[in-house]
């Protein structure tokens, strides 16, 4: 408890932690928003390809300019990521190679080329090259206030554009053909949305790293999808999840030694995803299981009632008691007869006779008739 308080105090007084936290929250929001569109458009893995493809761009930008300032490196990353995306689209359009192969190809080959450049840079005599390899797994602690300003500005620009083109993007996600019929420039919108995705991925590379950046795109959106069926709500929840995991992961990795930022953020995201998949109201797996159990129990109870009804039809006195063993035999394979009878008794539909046997009450008879669909016209 004391350490937690101290941490909170640090967070508000410590300049570095505040910078890191702010940067991670900004990029979490941007990627949460754009990730929602990517996941809905079945482009979950495009983020993986873009982030890996950005590596040679970062290395080339450094080799050409000798500068490590964020705008220069981000520009290189965005150019390479964009080029990779274009190549994927072109291969899928012009050959029989499928989308998944094109993604894997661009992802790994661009990354391989990036590694060549990176090993070249590492062998350069300049001391200034240090730090480029933090782009692999991300290092939130290297974020400077300047970098956070860049992240914030680009993230804000992305959000403004999404807000401006909200209606168009929504249409593009759910019914591109309809959008085309209405005369929207679908191709241009597609390119714009992809460009925004590239931008939001690129601003996260320094913090999360190229290797795991894709999780930042997919996970918040996939988790948010479980909580709502409306795009607006999904985007907002996704942004919140992205900010939460980004902030928590980045701060944890800045405070604890030997804790790479990217993987830490991903584990935070995974926890959110697991909770969402299990617990989200309506869609969550736990509710699904509960519903299924409830339904199964209801059917079993109804079956016992119907069995008793069948037995009652065979007797002149509808109140005649029947031993439980007969009911057990009749519901062979369903089981749970004792519990079903108990539930029926509580509802006043059956009663236990003095001899320990079971019979329908008048209410039970009416209910059984209703269930069998025969109405009230007697046995």
Partner 1 sequence: MTAPQIEIQVIAVLVAVSCALPGTFLVLRRMAMMSDAISHSILLGIVLAFFVTRDLTSPFLVAAAALTGVLTVTLVELLNRTGLVREDAAIGLTFPALFSAGVILVARYAGSIHLDTDAVLLGELAFAPFNRLVVLGYDIGPRALYMMAGITALNILFVAVFFKELKLATFDPGLAAVLGFSPGVLHYASMALVSLTAVGSFDAVGSILVVALMIAPPATAYLLVDRLSTMLLLSALLGAAGAVSGYWVAHALDASIAGSMASMSGLLFAAAYLAAPGRGLIPITLRRSRQRLEFAQRMLLVHLYNHEGLPDAGRENRVEHLHEHLKWDRSFAERVVGAARDRRLVERRDSLLILTDAGREAARDAMVG
Please state, in angstroms and as integers, the Cα–Cα distance from residue 316 to each residue in 312, 313, 321, 372, 379, following that order: 8, 7, 12, 19, 10
Position among 113, 165, 184, 287 found at the interface with partner 1 (CB under 8 A): 113
Give the pair of three-digit tokens for residue 272: 């959110």
Among 273, 241, 251, smallest CA distance to 207 is for: 251
Choice from 64, 65, 112, 329 touching partner 1 (CB under 8 A): 112
3-state SS, residue 121 = helix
Which of 23, 47, 246, 321 is the binder for partner 1 (CB under 8 A)? Answer: 47
Q: Least distance in Å: CB of 104 to partner 1?
A: 4
- Does residue number 231 form part of the binding site for partner 1 (CB under 8 A)? no
Q: Which of 219, 239, 312, 350 binds partner 1 (CB under 8 A)?
A: 219
Binding of partner 1 by 92 (CB under 8 A): no
The binder of partner 1 chosen from 10, 133, 190, 302 (CB under 8 A): 133
Task: Verify binding: residue 60, partner 1, rule CB under 8 A.
Answer: no
Contact by Cβ (8 Å): 270, 330:
no
Using CA atoms, how far apart are residues 5 and 7, in angstroms rounded to an integer?
A: 5
Tokens of 191: 């390119």
Exactly one of 23, 155, 263, 318 binds partner 1 (CB under 8 A); that residue is 263
Nearer to partner 1, 48 or 168 (CB): 48
Contact call for residue 242 and partner 1 (CB under 8 A) = no
Interface of this chain with partner 1, residues 141 to 200, rule: CB under 8 A: none
Does 291 engage in binding with partner 1 (CB under 8 A)?
no
**From candidates 201, 218, 234, 245, binder to partner 1 by CB under 8 A:** 218
CB of 371 to partner 1, least distance (A): 31
Residue among 93, 78, 87, 133 at smallest CA distance from 108: 87
> Taking Cα atoms as reference points, which of 132, 142, 212, 159 lies closest to residue 30?
159
Residue number with CB closer to partner 1 (115 or 330): 115
Considering only 84, 196, 207, 225, the residue that binds partner 1 (CB under 8 A) is 225
**272 near partner 1 (CB under 8 A):** no
Enter the DSSP assignment of 333. Answer: T
Q: Could you give the CA distance from residue 369 to residue 376 in angstroms, rounded to a whole number? A: 7
Q: Which one among 91, 237, 250, 344 touches partner 1, defined by CB under 8 A?
A: 91
Q: Are 270 and 221 in contact (CB under 8 A)?
A: no
List the one residue out of 122, 121, 3, 125 whose CA is nearest residue 64: 121
Q: How far apart are CA 136 and CA 144, in angstroms?
A: 18
Packing angle, helices 70-94 and 99-122, rounded to 10: 150
Which residue in the set 30, 60, 80, 107 belongs to the binding site for partner 1 (CB under 8 A)? 107
**Binding stretches for partner 1 (CB under 8 A):** 39, 42-45, 47-48, 52, 91, 94-98, 100-105, 107-120, 123, 133, 136-137, 211-212, 214-215, 217-219, 222, 225-226, 258-260, 262-264, 266-267, 269-270, 273, 277, 283, 285
């Amino acid at each position: 408890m004391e350490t937690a308080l101290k941490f909170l105090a640090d967070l508000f007084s410590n300049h570095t932690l505040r910078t890191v936290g702010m940067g991670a929250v900004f990029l979490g929001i941007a990627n949460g928003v754009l990730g929602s569109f990517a996941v809905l458009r079945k482009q979950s893995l495009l983020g993986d390809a873009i982030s890996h493809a950005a590596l040679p761009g970062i290395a080339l930008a450094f080799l050409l300019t000798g500068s490590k300032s964020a705008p220069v490196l981000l520009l290189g990353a965005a150019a390479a990521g964009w080029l990779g995306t274009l190549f994927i689209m072109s291969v899928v359009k012009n050959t029989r190679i499928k989308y998944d192969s094109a993604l894997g190809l661009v992802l790994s080959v661009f990354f391989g080329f990036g590694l060549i450049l990176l090993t070249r840079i590492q062998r350069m005599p300049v001391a200034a090259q240090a730090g480029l390899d933090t782009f692999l797994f991300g290092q939130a602690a290297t974020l400077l206030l300047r970098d956070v300003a860049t992240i914030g500005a680009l993230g804000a620009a992305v959000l403004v554009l999404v807000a401006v083109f909200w209606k168009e993007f929504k249409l593009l996600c759910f019914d591109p053909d309809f959008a085309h019929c209405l005369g929207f420039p679908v191709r241009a919108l597609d390119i714009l949305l992809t460009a925004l995705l590239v931008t939001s991925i690129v601003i996260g590379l320094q913090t999360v790293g190229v290797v795991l950046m894709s999780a930042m795109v997919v996970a918040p959106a996939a988790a948010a999808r479980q909580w709502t069926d409306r795009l607006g709500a999904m985007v907002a929840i996704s942004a919140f999840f992205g900010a939460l995991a980004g902030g928590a992961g980045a701060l944890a990795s800045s405070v604890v030694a030997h804790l790479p930022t990217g993987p830490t953020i991903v584990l935070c995201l995974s926890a959110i995803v697991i909770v969402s998949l299990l617990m989200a109201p309506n869609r969550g797996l736990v509710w699904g299981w509960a519903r299924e159990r409830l339904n199964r129990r209801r059917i079993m109870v109804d079956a016992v009632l119907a069995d008793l009804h069948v037995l009652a039809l065979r007797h002149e006195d509808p109140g005649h008691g029947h031993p439980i063993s007969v009911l057990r035999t009749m519901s062979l394979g369903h089981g749970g007869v004792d519990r079903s009878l108990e539930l029926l008794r509580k509802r006043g539909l059956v009663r236990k006779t003095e001899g320990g046997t079971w019979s329908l009450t008048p209410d039970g008879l009416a209910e059984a008739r209703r269930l069998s669909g025969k109405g009230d016209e007697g046995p």
